[in-house]
Amino acid sequence: RTLTSSSQQDLQLIATALIWKLEKEPETIIKTVQQQQQPSSISSLMIDRKQYDIMISYSHNDKELCHRILSSLEKDQLCVWIDSRLMHGATFDAMAKAIENAEFVLVCMSDAYKQSPFCEMEASYAVKRRCHIIPLVMTTSYKADGWLGVLTSALIYIDFPKLGFDKAYQELKKQIGLFRMNNSNLILAEQNQVHHNSSSLMDSIPKTNSSVENNKEPRPVV
C-alpha cells in the first residue's frame, strides 16, 4: 500500500493494480456468480440494456488505430467507453465498471497489448465476467500467443491491417449485428414458448358445459 503513494508513476500504477486484483476483483466475481445463480428468464437477461454498447481495451501504443475505430463507432451512434474519454489511465474501478456495463468488449491485440499487465488485467476480467469479446488484430502479421492466445483462441479475429480499415470495420459491425440478431431470436423463441405453455394450460382447464345446463327440462311447479 505504501507504493500506491510512490512518486514514481509506474510503481504507483503497479501497486494500485495489484491491490485491486487481490481485493476488488474477487468481490466482483462473487457478485457475478451470485447473479448468475438467481433464477432468471432468458428474455430478462437479453433485454437488460447496458450503459455502453462497447468498451475498448487497448494499449496506448495502438491509440491511433483505436481512436479511428472509436470515431467510426460513434458516427454509427454507438456508445463507447475508452479510458481517454474519462482520463489518461482510468482507475481500475472505472475500468471494471466499464467492462461490467458494456455489451461488447473489443480486445485490441498487439505485442504491446500482450506485454502490458494492465491490458492483461482488463482482458482477463472481461473473460471472468463472461462478456462478449471481439478480438481485433492491430498490427501487421500479429498472432496472439501466451495468455492472450489462450483467452482468444476460440474467438473470431478481425485483422485490421490484413483486411484494410474499411473492410475490417464492416466485419466488426457485422459481428455486432449478428450477435444482437441471435439474442433477439432467443427472446422471440422464449416468448413463443411462454405463449404456447399458456395456451396449453388454458386448454387443459375443464370448461363448464353451460349449454347442457340451459337445455335441461324445467321442473314442474307443484
The 8-class DSSP code of residue 91 comes to -
- Is the pLDDT assigned to residue 167 strictly greater than 90? yes
DSSP 108-171: EE-HHHHH-HHHHHHHHHHHHTT-EEEEEE-STT----HHHHHHHTTS--EEHHHH-HHHHHHH
- Is the pLDDT assigned to residue 155 strictly greater than 80? yes
**Closest C-alpha among 48, 10, 105, 152 to residue 97:** 105
User: Rounded to whole angstroms, how far apart are CA atoms 58 and 112?
Assistant: 9
| 6 exposure class (CB count in 10 Å sphere: 0-12, 13-18, 19+) | middle
Task: Please tell me whether residue 103 adopts helix, strand or coil conformation.
Answer: strand
pLDDT of residue 150: 95
pLDDT of residue 25: 57
Residue with cell 510503481: 11
pLDDT of residue 94: 85
User: Rounded to whole angstroms, how far apart are CA atoms 119 and 193?
Assistant: 42
| 218 exposure class (CB count in 10 Å sphere: 0-12, 13-18, 19+) | exposed
pLDDT of residue 89: 47
Which of 56-60, 141-145, 175-179, 193-197 has the least mean pLDDT?
Answer: 193-197
Task: Please tell me whether residue 107 adopts helix, strand or coil conformation.
Answer: strand
pLDDT of residue 199: 58
Q: How far out from the chain centre does Cα 77 lie? A: 18
pLDDT in tens, 65-87: 999 999 999 999 999 999 875 44
DSSP 3-24: GGG-SSHHHHHHHHHHHIIIII
Would you tell me the crossing angle of helices 117-128 and 92-100 to the nearest 10 degrees?
30
Residue with cell 456508445: 79
The chain-wide mean pLDDT, for the chain, equals 77
User: Rounded to whole angstroms, how far apart are CA atoms 144 and 75?
Assistant: 29
The ranges assigned to domains in the chain are 49-185
Residue 30, all three cell numbers = 462473487
pLDDT in tens, 121-149: 899 999 988 999 999 999 999 999 999 99
User: Rounded to whole angstroms, how far apart are CA atoms 79 and 70?
Assistant: 10
pLDDT in tens, 92-105: 788 889 999 999 99
Q: Write out the CATH class of domain 49-185.
A: alpha beta
